Chain A
């Protein structure tokens, strides 16, 4: 008896009982069910919610794998055991040792994220007597990619529980949420445990543990790895070239560093028509616009080097696309179909403001070195309002046209 038929039998056995949604979910996750509908004509679409989600996950897998290698690479680099990688294909980066560290640190994050999140989804499905909703599949993959490598697992578990319950289930589950659940989880971590989410220790595996060992009296050198944004916010020199930033061989959250792989993922999403190219493009335009404004302010001499915003404002406008989590947020989180604007015109406004506000927060608020998380959450809240006015504008225009015709 194959897996499919045993899953089917299991589902039939539990039909009508309390646990039925859980077994249905497992069955349909792996296979297309055999059941056919009776009576009436039905159109069958292959890209249901689960398969849509799977495509987004596929787009993120390169970032995940890259993140694992990068975790090990940054670790060994600050320890001084390897030299700096030159270019994207350097063997010092694509190295077995790097991957081992990455696997050890990243896989537990993935397991905890999915384990806790799906457990809550199953629990709520059983309580609400609904089918299990697939919304967590993407969130569960996003979460490990947007947290620092050394995030303690229990913190992640608490944050995931909070994000899924408060960010999504209280609003009625998948499709009803106002805020992006993955960003809710990250925002919770950020405000609850700020020491684990910012600074120059958390981005490199081992730096926090090393600090503790030193505090306990061991004779070791402290190690640290600052993100590009962290260095800029403090007015320090940035030690990475634009190509480094583009390839992603820089410290940062697990999967958000490589603009190249995010770009490929974004193109994949646009090609498969899962992600909205309008949001991605307008968000990039918004960021560039804000970057240009800041560059203009600097070149017109309104601000001098003594200002604490000088380093960030003086950053070349297109560099903003490569550093921090901007690219990742734009491609994978701003485009979340549930929380983004639904109308085409609305998507342009929504995306543009995300880019614009991201860079604004990034430059003017040193307490929040990365603005894209807050910008997307803010625009999530405004998305329904934007849609409302776009639709009303449309109605008004058509009414006017009608009046001209009839008059």
Chain B
């Protein structure tokens, strides 16, 4: 087992704090380079984010063992999993598209998402053991849905980068951070691809979930389904409008950011509307 024999005996939250520290280190390193107006070392930031990702994976794995399933049972776990998803995507997308500053922004976002989730004890006050009732399909559905949120998180980041580049060029502020941003066209292309990927993953998640829902309509959590479908529909509409070039440039970027904010906010009602399940006390999980 991954964490059985050679891993230090740390709690899941300690691993996750450690991962946050690595993400923060990536951000600080990038910020220092920007302050000195020097090009960032993409490889070093990538290595720090990768190290944080590995450590976060261990933390989430420990948590998964403790809650007997995918750790998506409370707001803390959802934020952690969303950050983890965004980073896993960055680790693949980053070297492929070679977008400068993407590592810097990803480490910033991950540091914020993970540290906020760790800093608010109430979000992790109750842990749901076997939150998915041992149904692997519904667990798969939830994991896919959260992974799509990770994609949308990365999309929100690249949309912010797009807006910064437009601001830079329109206002002729070309130095500092702005000097290292990727081109408008590259950012626009990656935005479209991420939106397409996110919608496809969320569609797959809903398709998997619907199989379970159709089997037993009584168990369907209407609030959750409606919220999920609403998020999916708005992203799908945004994709359609973008493909038809009716929603482009800054309006498209702002839509991506606002939709992600709305998607994050929707997690709260979705999470709180779940049926009560066996809970654990707030202490760190002991294996």
- Binding between chains A and B: no
